[in-house]
Chains A and B, each alone.
Chain A
Amino acid sequence: MVETENILSVNGLSKVFDGVKAVDDVSFGLKKGTIAALIGPNGAGKTTMFNLITGFLRPDRGTVHFNGRTVSSMSPHRIARLGLVRTFQNVRLFPQMSAIENVMLGLKYTRGESLYAALLKTKAMKKENGANTEQSLKYLRQVGLEQKKNELAGNLSHGQRKMLEMVRALALEPEVLLLDEPAAGLFAEKITEMKRVIREMRDSGKTILFIEHDMKTVMDIAEHIIVLNYGKKIAEGTPKQIQQNEAVITAYLGRRRTLAS
């Protein structure tokens, strides 16, 4: 792996829980501007991988490099600020806060969030607050949630919540976005919308790695696929290569059908 070319690279990452190897010596790299998918049967270690990459878990062995920096021992909030952002399988929003507040929490500015700014309500801070509200509305508009800006996040529909979490992640202006099952529980039209948003992100220069079980979606938009099973990487390549890979087919319950169906 040529380190300088990959915006995100994972090297020999391992994590053991109570004697079980959740992630076992996994390495891969992502080039900037690609849409990649991380797939594998349930329990293969995909979400654990995400946790390791984004600092929510400390690896037992191995390193993670992002944009030339080693991030494997950084705290999760720092990694997020650097531009490596993730969403959650179970959609972690702030349920009793409004949609617009959720997005505002994602915005990248920090000056207004200090205690100093809170105590001394300066004109500059007020102005910044106004700009941020505007910016947040823009993000909401992008996913059609502008009307729901004051709705409590917990009251939104599942599809809306998924979109909200996505757009809150975008507010962090990430370079690499790790999406944990972005299509889970979504109806067909919402999935199409989700795919559109992902493509738009890639077109604006972002790199995406997503975990997915819906093979149709994976084969449709992923350019690069990494397959895990029992914590190990068993295959990596283009969708076509993966579809024909014996090990992968066997891993998915030994189905004789190809993975495109």
Chain B
Amino acid sequence: MSVTVEGLSVVIADKPIVSGIDLNIADGERVGLIGSSGSGKSMISKAMLGLLPLNASVSGSVALGETQVIGAPERELAALRGSYVGTVFQNPAASLNPVMTVAQQIGLPLKLHYDLTTTERAERVAAMLGKVGLAEETANKYPHELSGGQQQRVGIATALITSPRFIIADEPTTALDSITQRQIVDLLTALVDDAGASMLFITHDFSVLARATTRCYVLESGRIVDSGATAEVLADPKTSESKRLVSAARILTLHSADLRNIKEDSHE
């Protein structure tokens, strides 16, 4: 599904959070959105899903395929979410329903959008568990019984169970350690590519960005300050803001890459 965002602005309590964002994602493309915390990344993803808090006022245009999200009634958006659009959240421990089993959680989008028998649903959930690399018996566990990485696999399975055409991944690796981060990014991109879906991948981490996306936008204080092929933006940032961001991130990334190497060495 192709996605076009034009002039998107979000204001919360008289404070502009996002100002005049333009961004597009072609069918089957994996696009990144990178910025420091507080730059408004999450609000953009929420605006695209119609999940903004009640006190937010939003303007501009967000077209998911044929559907205009801004101003659409909640019922229409709910029909879109979980069927055409899947979402992976930042912190699975704070988003997976704690009183639902893994199977119930992954099966929820199916239950809400499709008329399947319980067995059919269980079969699809079992197949999905296999795809995200979780053991069959995980199905009857509760989220708190899983590790952070396993929880995020459940999150990915829930987002992808209905084979959506567009995935929003909102900092899906931030709550994880660096080894798990890489595994999760690789899993997510592989599954998205297999399905031929498009993806908006939100992160503040340049190494994750490089792994997950081909093209990216750089966000600073609610504005897009740079964009282009991910490799080019990282190698040669055009504007002063993105230069600053990239060089700051490079130090951090190098640092964490060092740590990762050390960790991997000790693992082997």
Decide whether A and B are members of one complex. Answer: no
Binding site for B on A (CB under 8 A): none
